[in-house]
Structure 1
Amino acid sequence: MAMLSPILPDDADTVINLRGLVVRFGTQTVLNGLDLDVRRGEILGVVGGSGSGKSVLMRTIIGLNRASAGNITILKQDTDGVDGRGLDGEAAKDLRRRWGVLFQEGALFSALSVAENIQVPMREFLDLPQGLMDELAGYKVQMVGLPPDAGAKFPSQLSGGMKKRAGLARALAIDPQLVFLDEPTAGLDPISADAFDALIRVLRDTLGLTVFLITHDLDTLYAICDRVAVLGDGKVLAMGTIDELMTFDHPWVKSYFGGPRGRAAAPQKAA
């Protein structure tokens, strides 16, 4: 079905385009000819079974893994996945400053305060006086719903939910157009996870972000994702809304969305 294709029409407004992406580690092929388009302004959920390559896909898009073959276009700039050289130094740096990343568990630097963590991208990409960086870090702390005094705290002094918000503040430090989130609600209690989902939706709407979100959380998929990409066999098996995916005849997809957890997460429709 065309609606479940990972490739959008040529005239679609996209910010990520992957064609024939192959990623190998030694003799193991994780991604094998993967195609994917991400629309500007959407929250795209990426799901798949354990070992399906979700995090590998994200890390390859942002350049932390080297592709064995294929092409990656991000924000209309091409990188060559075959030779791994991609863009030259300044162009690559300019491209990296246009996205932010929230890794699993927040990945905060333990020896830095929250404010200092948020300032890391500012120091890498910008040339700002310390006073302005302090002011901007305080603004980002408030933007993600942390109390003002959180900026002076160290990661070890934060709860799991606060660490995720601090990591998100760092991802938003230099006003990116595109944000990558890797399992952002993993390990959070249901109330904290719901609050984090709501925050992502508000930030997308107010800042005009495009969000690439890896998750296994069915509540998150139903609550905030515009479309969902299902990974399997090294490719995107299907891509669409959850209602569209429910029509896809694949055992894993049917079990994932149609099983007890999927039925519990699904919004209750009026009779």
Structure 2
Amino acid sequence: MRVISLKFNTLQAISFFLSLLLALPTLYLLFYGYGPFFVKSVAFSSSLLSSIGLSFFASALSIVITVLIFTPLAYYLSRHRNPIIETLVDVPASIPHPLVGIALIFIDSPTNPLGALLYSHGIIFYYTYTGLLLALIIVSSPIYIRSMQNFFDSLPRSYEIYAMSLGASEFKVFTSVVFPLSIRGIISAGLTSIARAISEFGSVVIVAPYVTGWLFNNAYVASVYIYNEYETYFSASISASATLLLFSLILIVTSRIVNRFLYKT
């Protein structure tokens, strides 16, 4: 028993050290951002808070849309292994994200038939909520789909088999039987995907670094705002980064608490 305990403690110590190593750069930034390099006018400026608000709002809205659109796809992949569809789902997660932004700009360009059609109907991606939401949905949906696919894999299939034996279609089984049992997984996967969407930079810096419209007008996406601060004045960017990091940590802790509560009940 002593040998087992010793091995466990050693592994625990190594695991703690490695996790601390991963978190060290961000913790270091948080310490100096609210310590020696703290600039109150930068850390809590209205422009920074607006950019954080825009990122959280757009990320949350994109995940709501992702849940409504892609939950059936995750269920289908769980019940029917399709290598072609799975490959297509993995494409956005496997390419540099600036390519997503470039693709959206090109699709919306009047130089091609689809872009001309969109443009004629007043659908514009550049510097709009539409472009921002599309970029966030594309880059975060693979994480949501894969998370929900794993969740559906873990569900017992007895209820589905029983419903199908009574003549219910697969879609009816999903909407009436499986979906009500999946709220816990949807919330968990959704929170993880929101965190991913908030951190997005590569695609949004091209298609919608800032937005114009009815809410958060002319506000930059938080990741782009931090990058602009970095290019303008490096020391100020540390305080701004610390504030964004603080909000992100609050989201992570909230997600962990919610997941713990969901899987206890």
Ranked by relative contact order (alpha carbons within 8 Å, sequence separation 6 or more), the top structure is 2
Length-normalised TM-score, structure 2: 0.23
Which structure's residues are more often strand, by fraction? 1
Which structure's residues are more often helix, by fraction? 2
Length-normalised TM-score, structure 1: 0.23
